[in-house]
Amino acid sequence: MNERNFSISYQSFKGLEELSENDKALCLKAEEALNTSYSPYSRFKVGAALQLKGGQVVLGSNQENVAYPSGLCAERVALFAIGSSDPNAVIESMAITAKTDNFVIEKPVTSCGACLQVMAEVEQKQKQEIEVLFYCINGEIIKVKGIKNLLPFVFTEVRLVV
C-alpha cells in the first residue's frame, strides 16, 4: 500500500475591493446574471460569467424545471452556450455567485461535481486552465486556477477523444 497526499492552491479575498479591476468586473457580471435565473422551486439563484480570450463575457444562470433532474446549473448553461456558439473559444476565467431571499449566504458557493467535470473537459479541450472565482456577495471570494485544484481525481479517458 502507498499513501499519497495532494494539496490544492487557492487565494482568498475579503471582498471585491481586494480584487483586480478585471476580476471585480467579472464578479459583478456574475451578479448581473442572477437576474435571468429561473428558480421558482428552490428560490436559489446562481449566476456565472465567463471571460473569453479577447475579453468577451458570456453569462449563464441556473434554469430549474419541475422535474428536478431536467434543470441545469448556471456554469453549464454558460459553458454549453459557448460550446455551441463558438466551439473554438478559449475561456480564461469565470466567476460564480449565488443569492436567495430565504437566508443570508455567508460563504462562497462552489460548483457541483457535474459542473466541475464539464469545466475540466473544457480545460482539456482548450489546453489551458480556467481561473475560477467563487464570489459571495458582500463577503469572501475564493480564486482557484485550474479545475484540478477542485477535482483532483477528474474523470478522463483520452482514448475516447477522437
| pLDDT score of 132 | 98
10-160: in CATH 3.40.140.10: yes
CA gap 97, 48 in Å, rounded? 7
CA gap 151, 8 in Å, rounded? 10
The predicted model scores a pTM of 0.94
Catalytic residues: 75
- Please say if the pLDDT value at position 157 is more than 80: no
| pLDDT score of 161 | 65
Q: What is the pLDDT of residues 62-108, one digit of tens each?
A: 999 999 889 999 999 999 999 999 999 999 999 999 999 999 999 99
CA gap 28, 158 in Å, rounded? 36
Q: What Rg value do the Cα atoms of the chain yield, rounded?
A: 16
DSSP letters along 67-129, please? SGGG-B-HHHHHHHHHHHH-TT--EEEEEEEEEESSS---SPPPPPHHHHHHHHHHHHHHTS-
Q: What is the pLDDT of residues 105-139, one digit of tens each?
A: 999 999 999 999 999 999 999 999 999 999 999 99
Q: What number of other Cβ atoms are within 10 A of residue 150's Cβ?
A: 20
Strands 131-135 and 91-100: parallel
